[in-house]
Structure 1
Amino acid sequence: MPKIVDRQLMQDTILDAAMRTFARKGYHAATIGDVALEAGLGKGTLYLYFKSKEAMTEAMADRHFTALSQRWMDDGECATLDDFLESLRSLADIPAEHAQFIPVFFEIFGPSFASQTFATRVESFFDRLGRHFAARIAGLQDKGEIAPHHDPASLGRALASMLDGLILHRGLFAISAKRQKAMIKEVLRLFDDGLRANRP
C-alpha cells in the first residue's frame, strides 16, 4: 500500500529546509540539490512539490505573508487605547531569531520587488494591515479613547509603515534587543500622548 504523505506538511518541511539553506549558503549560491539534502529528500521527491527554486521562493513569500497576517491581524479586540498600544508593542518587539532572517528575506525576495506582481502582493499586505489598524482606531474613537480629529485610514496606514520600519531596522542593522525595546517604548509614548482623548 502506498505511503500517505501530508502534502502541506511536506511543503512546509521543504520550505523550512530552504530557508536554512539560503541563510547558510546564500540564496543565489544554493541549489535545489542543497535544499533537498537539507530536507533529507531526493531531488526527484523535492521536484514533486516545487518545480524550481523560483516556485519555492513564491511559496515562501506566500507563507511568510500568511503568517504575518495571522500574527498581526488576529490580535483580538482592543477595548482601550492601552490594549491597542500593547498590541503594537508586541508586534514590534520581534525575537532575535526572527530578526536574523530579515537580511535573508531581502536576499531572497529583494530582486522580486522589480516584479509588479510581487510588489503588489506586498503592498496589498500593508494595505490590509493599515485597514486593520484603522478599524481599531475608529473603534477606539467611538469609545472615546482616541481623539476624534485623527483620520483612521491615514493613521492606520502610517502605523503599518512605521511598524515595518522598526522591525526592518532591528534585522538589517543588528539593533540590540535593549535598544529596540527603548525605541518601541518612546514611539508608543508618542502615540499615547498624541492619540489619547480627554488627556488631563
Structure 2
Amino acid sequence: MARVSQEHLDARRRQILDGAARCFARNGFHATSMQDVLQEVGLSAGAVYRYFRGKEQLIAAIADEVFVLVGSAFDDAARSVPPPTPDVLVGRVLRRVFDTNPAGDAQAFCRLVLQVWPETLRNEVLAATLQAGFDRLLGAWSTLVAAYQAGGQLDADIPAEHVARTCVATVQGFLAQQALFGDVDVRVLEDGVRGLMSLGRAVAPDPS
C-alpha cells in the first residue's frame, strides 16, 4: 500500500475544517450534525473521524487556527520599529483573518465567532482553547501598548493591560456588529480608532 504523504493529510484536514466552518456559520453549531459535515466535505465518516472525533474537536481546532493567525499578525507588529499604531494594526489583523478564514466570507466568519463564545460556557476544551488564545492576544496588545507609552504616544499612567483589554473589546464589538448586521467595512473601525486616538490633539475652531 502506498504511503500517504503529509501534504495529502494536511490537505484533507484543511478540507474538513473549511467544510465544518461553512456548516457552522450557515446553520449554527447545534443545528449542524456530523452528517451535515460529511455531506459538505464529501467524505466518509471514517475519513473525517480519523482527524476529528466530533463537532467539539472541530470547533476547537477552528478557534485555535484563528488565534494562531491573529498571533502571527501581532508577532509581525512587535518586530516593527516603531510598531504600527492601533488603527493600522486592527485593520491589518482583521484583513488577514477575513482573507484567510475558513468560513468563506467576513460575515460568515463573524457569525462563527459569535457561536464559539457561548459554547465555551459548556465545553471545557473549547473554553481552555479560547482562554489560551485570549491570554496570548492580551499579552500581545499589552506589549504594544507599553511600546506606545514608551514612545510618548499614550499616557504612561494608565495600566497597559487596561488599554489592551479595551482594544480587544473594540475588535470583539466590531465582530459582533459584522455578524449581526453585516456590511461593516474594516475601514470604519480603522477610522473610528484613529478618531479616538485624536482626542486631546484636536484644535478648537476659531470663534471669530
TM range (shorter): 0.7 to 0.9
- 2:198 is the counterpart of 1:192: yes
C-alpha distance in structure 2 between counterparts of 1:155 and 1:109, whole Å:
22
Please say which of residues 88-97 and 50-59 is displaced more in the overlay. 88-97
1:168 corresponds to which residue? 176
Partner-residue secondary structure (3-state), 1:141 = helix
C-alpha distance in structure 2 between counterparts of 1:56 and 1:95, whole Å:
19
1:70 corresponds to which residue? 72
Count matched residues. 193
C-alpha distance in structure 2 between counterparts of 1:169 and 1:155, whole Å:
21
C-alpha distance in structure 1 between counterparts of 2:48 and 2:25, whole Å:
19
Residue 130 of structure 1 contacts residue 158 of structure 1 at CA under 8 Å; is this kept in 2? no
Q: Determine what percentage of the aligned residue pairs are the same residue.
A: 23
CA displacement at 1:10 relative to structure 2: 1.9
CA displacement at 1:84 relative to structure 2: 4.2
2:29 corresponds to which residue? 27
RMSD between superposed Cα atoms in Å:
3.0
- 2:133 is the counterpart of 1:125: yes
Which structure 1 residue ranges, 4+ long, deviate > 4 Å from structure 2? Answer: 92-96
Q: Which runs of 5+ in 2 are unaligned?
A: 100-104, 204-208
C-alpha distance in structure 2 between counterparts of 1:61 and 1:29, whole Å:
19
Residue 177 of structure 2 contacts residue 184 of structure 2 at CA under 8 Å; is this kept in 1? no
CA displacement at 1:134 relative to structure 2: 2.0
- 2:38 is the counterpart of 1:36: yes
C-alpha distance in structure 1 between counterparts of 2:129 and 2:64, whole Å:
9
Instruction: Find 1:105's aligned residue among 113, 117, 121.
Output: 113
C-alpha distance in structure 2 between counterparts of 1:105 and 1:134, whole Å:
23
C-alpha distance in structure 2 between counterparts of 1:23 and 1:85, whole Å:
28
C-alpha distance in structure 2 between counterparts of 1:5 and 1:37, whole Å:
24
Partner-residue secondary structure (3-state), 2:18 = helix
C-alpha distance in structure 2 between counterparts of 1:34 and 1:118, whole Å:
21
Q: Which runs of 5+ in 1 are unaligned?
A: none
C-alpha distance in structure 2 between counterparts of 1:48 and 1:188, whole Å:
47
CA displacement at 1:176 relative to structure 2: 3.3
- 2:165 is the counterpart of 1:157: yes
Distance 1:157 1:63, change over 3 A: same
Please say which of residues 4-13 and 68-77 is displaced more in the overlay. 68-77
C-alpha distance in structure 1 between counterparts of 2:158 and 2:117, whole Å:
35
- 2:12 is the counterpart of 1:10: yes
1:61 corresponds to which residue? 63
TM-score when scaled to structure 1? Answer: 0.76
- 2:208 is the counterpart of 1:181: no
1:90 corresponds to which residue? 92
Partner-residue secondary structure (3-state), 1:56 = helix
- 2:147 is the counterpart of 1:139: yes
